Amino acid sequence: MPSFDIDKSDLLRLRGALDSTDVELQQVLDQYHASEIAILFDRLEPEERERIINILPAETASEVISEMDEESHPEELLVSLDKEKRTEILKELDYDDATDIISQLDESDQQEILDEIDQEDASNIRNLMTYQEDTAGGLMDTELIKVNISCSKNEALEEIIRQSEQMEEFYTLYAVDDDGILQGILSIKDLIKAKKQLYVKDLIKTDYVYVKADLDQEEVARLISQYNLTSVPVVDDYMKLLGRVTVDDIIDVMEEENTEDILKISGVSEDEELSGNWQDAVKSRLPWLVLNLGTAFLAAAVIRHFSTIEAKLPVVMAYMTIISGMGGNSATQALAVTVRRISLSDLTDQQAYKTVLKELSVGLINGAINGLILLLFALWYDANPMLGLVLFMAMTGNLIVAGLTGSGIPLLLKRVGIDPAVASSIIITTFTDCFGFLLVLWLASKLLL
């Protein structure tokens, strides 16, 4: 399905339908997929969302709510519905989606909603709520197809038909023993093609990927991506099958983690909602800006130390901003690549060394090329070869420093247990500014005065 972008015509059509009858509104809604309606919800008022959900069939309404962004607060929409509609929607939701939504409510609302629904469903949701949100247990869905290893082919097929009545889709079968201990996995294709006299234990693969319930969601995503899996079983410490994490959940995790890294690198707290108000944005960003202001005083101190250069050679000050800016940009590039490598896998000492060496080489080459451009410009515009030499050396040196700091600092922070995406950008900005200013002014004091 092609991607859906909200345009003015979609909003006008939907708002026009909201002012008309339920029948006309339903006709307009039928033109959109559930995920598209969820996107349109970002532009609608709470009472408009509630009316649409009440009109939609429970199955479609559950898909819309499950597709809503966390910042759109689907839990508030769910609470606003009457008991009957809410129960119908929760019955259609997968356990993992229902858990994600209900866990955002306060305890009294959680208890009220769980008391309204089927006792077995409520028990499953309560069990999932005991796991940390960013772990395999917090991601997993307890609805899956499992068969006993002692079943024959025909018995297994009958069991699959029985268990799959309430499931939308499944790709993998999980083979367990009488105690629910995971013994292996089995594809539907292999079961269908198998001879009638074979048993599940004869068909299962015992060499399979599984995850423990407390494994971090990033590691789960890495394993699913590495082994090209559609789902991965979740087990406890005794290998008892608890649930499964599917690839659609992992896509959401990867988007969440990438957004988190981008915000951290930019000095923005992950707690700031992208659609939040200005008060939340100020509260989130101000501490980092104050810290950055403190580090900027170091760069200012370098300039003040060479105040005589500014008076005698004002042209140097103009070029100095170019060199510090180029250093900052180069360091940010190295930082982005290194943080991404760290997020994908834990680098060994040898890999870390090669990463730093690579960025140092890139900094040297890029610095020399850009420094040469500055040298030629100084020869043409200022007719000053010594000034050109100073600029060439300063640019080369600062981009080498940028490569070293952009790659080395996040690796060092990771080694000492600090999130490299949080603190790296401020530290490397300080380094490139200070070294950029220092190199230009020190070289100018030695070669131009």
Taking only the tens place, the pLDDT of each residue in 247-286 is 888 877 776 666 666 555 555 555 555 555 667 667 766 7
State which H helix or E strand residue 365 sits in: helix 349-377
pLDDT (tens digit, 9 = 90+) per residue, 135-167? 999 999 888 999 999 999 999 999 999 988 877
Are both 120 and 165 inside the same structural domain?
no
Give the pLDDT confidence score for residue 274 in this predicted structure: 52
The pLDDT score that the predictor gives to residue 2 is 43
pLDDT band at 290 (very low <50, low <70, confident <90, very high): confident
Last-in-domain residue among 68, 103, 130 = 130
Residues 317 and 404 in one domain: yes
Task: Find the CATH number of the domain harbouring 327.
Answer: 1.10.357.20
Domain containing residue 191: CATH number: 3.10.580.10
Q: Which residues contact 285 (CB under 8 A, 6 or more apart)?
A: 267, 268, 269, 272
Q: Which residues of 421-438 are buried (b: 16+ CB within 10 A; e: fewer)?
A: bbbbbbbbbbbbbbbbbb
Q: Residues near 51 by Cβ (< 8 Å), separated by ≥ 6? A: 18, 25
What is the structure's pLDDT at 1? 41
- Of the candidates 101, 130, 159, which is a domain's last residue? 130
For residue 80, report the phi and psi dihedrals to the nearest 5 degrees: -75, -15
Residue at a domain's end among 130, 155, 171: 130
The answer to whether position 233 is within a domain reads yes
Residues 411, 301 share a domain:
yes
Distance CA 434, CA 398 (A): 9
For the chain, the average pLDDT equals: 85
* Threshold 0.95, pTM exceeds: no
Give mean pLDDT, residues 15-38: 90
Q: Is the pLDDT of residue 35 over 70?
A: yes
pLDDT of residue 314: 77
Give tens-digit pLDDT for 41-56. 888 888 999 999 999 9
Residues 152 and 90 in one domain: no
* DSSP conformational letter for 179: T
Q: What is the pLDDT of residue 371?
A: 92
Summarised one tens digit per residue, pLDDT across range 123-135 is 999 999 999 988 9
Question: Which pLDDT score, from 0 to 100, does residue 6 have?
Answer: 63
The dihedral built from the CA positions of residue 357, 359, 362 and 364, taken in this order, carries a sign that is negative
Q: What is the pLDDT of residue 344?
A: 63
* Domain count along the chain: 3
pLDDT at 317 over 90: no
Q: Are strands 231-235 and 241-246 parallel, antiparallel or unpaired?
A: antiparallel
Q: Identify the domain containing residue 172 by its residue range.
A: 146-246
Q: What is the pLDDT of residue 306?
A: 77
Residues 6+ apart with CB under 8 A from 217: 134, 135, 136, 138, 139, 253, 257
Q: What is the spatial distance between Cα 126 and Cα 101, in angstroms, rounded to a whole number?
A: 12
